[in-house]
Amino acid sequence: MATMRDVAARAGVSIKTVSNVLNDYPYIKESTRAKVLTAIDQLGYRMNISARNLRAGRTGIIALVVPELSLPYFAQLSDAIIEAAAIKGWTVIVEQTGGVRERELDMLSGARRHLVDGVIFSPLALGPGETDHLHVDFPLVLLGERMSNGPVDHVTISNVQAARAATQHLLDLGRHRIAAIGANGVAGAATTRFDGYLAAIESAGLERDDTLIPVVGLSWHRTAGAEAMQELLDSGTPIDAVFGFNDTLALGAMHVLLRSGRRIPEDVAVIGFDNIEETRFSMPSLSSVEPGQKQIARTAVDLLAERIGGGAEEYREIYADFTLEIRESTIGRQEDA
């Protein structure tokens, strides 16, 4: 494999001159530049990134740490972040933690801090009491609300407000027996979305009813939503609406509801959260909270860039905008739309 030395030899210049050409050093005679470029072309030379990194202390790589790509939300998030990073000329390493505490800690231990310039981290197992782990010596941007108020930059949406708006939408439809699927006793999105749900319920003058609030596991897959819904139906508690804390939970719940013979939204209205692509194609299509994922991705990458560039001082907490996407699962089929 050709090195810079080979290029220099072929072009009849010094190795540093080759480097200068490649780094757009201004004082290069046009003829010299041409010779060098020709040599590079002939030899098919590619710069050795490891060597450059060793000198420069930068790798041009960032790590994205998510629970798992199989969840559409994280898949779409990764898509958006990879694209946003590409614009900055960065390459993205994707690490999956599976929501396993030990693997999340490992990501923060700095084992890769020479390999990447910075990390975008979406924790699932680590929580609010553990912000100590965030005192890391590499640029870090946190996603989601699992570990707010730590010594890091932080991008999320107003989970409380968004969840409240989603619940309010169900209340506005005249529903009063609204199940909340996604609570799992773990701080973070589960808790803040639950808080939003509760705020809407209580400000509507209703009372909190724990029979409407099944406990689910850590992982918000479709199965979890289906199981929780089945549990609710089995319990016999009356239900006229469901708020799934994410779309896959809601879709799982919807599946069970339809299978049990309920009509959506006539008997039970359903709303989700995240607005994944699938919501537009389920039957019925699923109303959802659009969390501004692309904005989150861009913001996270921008914050990381500032942090890496050293231009940031204060730790920032940024809230992306959300909107409600109302579809059939709450308002039924609209004849003209």
Partner DNA sequence: CCTGACTTGTACATCGATGTAGAAGCCAAT
Partner DNA sequence: ATTGGCTTCTACATCGATGTACAAGTCAGG
Task: Lay out the site mask for a copy of itself across 112-141 (x = CB under 8 A, - = otherwise).
Answer: xxxx---------------------x----
Which segments of 66-150 does DSSP mark as H helices, in order? 72-87, 101-108
Q: How far apart are CA 93 and CA 116, in angstroms?
A: 8
Q: Does 86 bind DNA (CB under 7 A)?
A: no
DSSP 8-state secondary structure symbol assigned to residue 31: H
Is the CB of 22 or the CB of 218 nearer to DNA? 22
**Cβ of residue 28: shortest distance to DNA, in angstroms?**
4
Residue 4, contacted partner among a copy of itself, DNA, none, CB below 5-8 A by kind: DNA
Interface with a copy of itself, residue 259, by CB under 8 A: yes
Measured between alpha carbons, how far apart are the two ends of the chain, in Å?
61
Instruction: Decide: helix, strand or coil at residue 255.
Output: helix
Q: Quote the CA–CA distance of 246 and 158 in Å, as a whole number.
A: 14
Residue 23 sits in the site that holds DNA (CB under 7 A): yes
Rounded Cα gap, residues 136 and 107, in angstroms: 11
Shortest separation between residue 112's beta carbon and DNA, angstroms: 13
Determine, following the binding rule CB under 7 A, whether residue 29 of this chain makes contact with DNA.
Answer: yes
Binding partner of 317, given DNA, a copy of itself, none, CB within 5-8 angstroms per partner class: none
269 binds DNA (CB under 7 A): no
Residue 1 or 87: which CB sits closer to DNA? Answer: 1
Judged by CB under 7 A, the stretch of 2-10, 154-162, 169-177, 268-276 that binds DNA is 2-10
**What secondary structure letter does DSSP report for 283?**
S
Shortest approach of DNA to residue 301 CB, angstroms?
Answer: 23
Cβ-proximal residues to 253 (8 Å cutoff; 6+ apart), any chain: 179, 181, 225, 226, 228, 229, 242, 244, 270
37 binds DNA (CB under 7 A): no
Q: Work out how close the CB of 158 gets to a copy of itself at its nearest, in angstroms, rounded to a whole number.
A: 25
- Select the binding partner of residue 280 from DNA, a copy of itself, none (C-beta < 5 to 8 A, by kind): a copy of itself
Phi-psi region of 43 (alpha: psi -120 to 50; beta: other; left: phi over 0): alpha
Nearer to a copy of itself, 124 or 171 (CB): 124
Of the candidates 94, 273, 97, 295, the residue with the CA atom closest to the CA atom of residue 180: 273
Residues with Cβ < 8 Å from 4, sequence gap 6 or more? 15, 18, 19, 45, 47
Computed from CA positions of residues 269, 273, 275, 279, in that sequence, does the dihedral angle turn out positive or negative?
negative
- Binding region for a copy of itself (CB under 8 A): 1, 44, 46-51, 53-54, 59, 61, 68-70, 72, 75-76, 78-79, 82-83, 91-96, 110-115, 137, 221-222, 226, 251-252, 254-255, 258-259, 277-278, 280-283, 285, 333
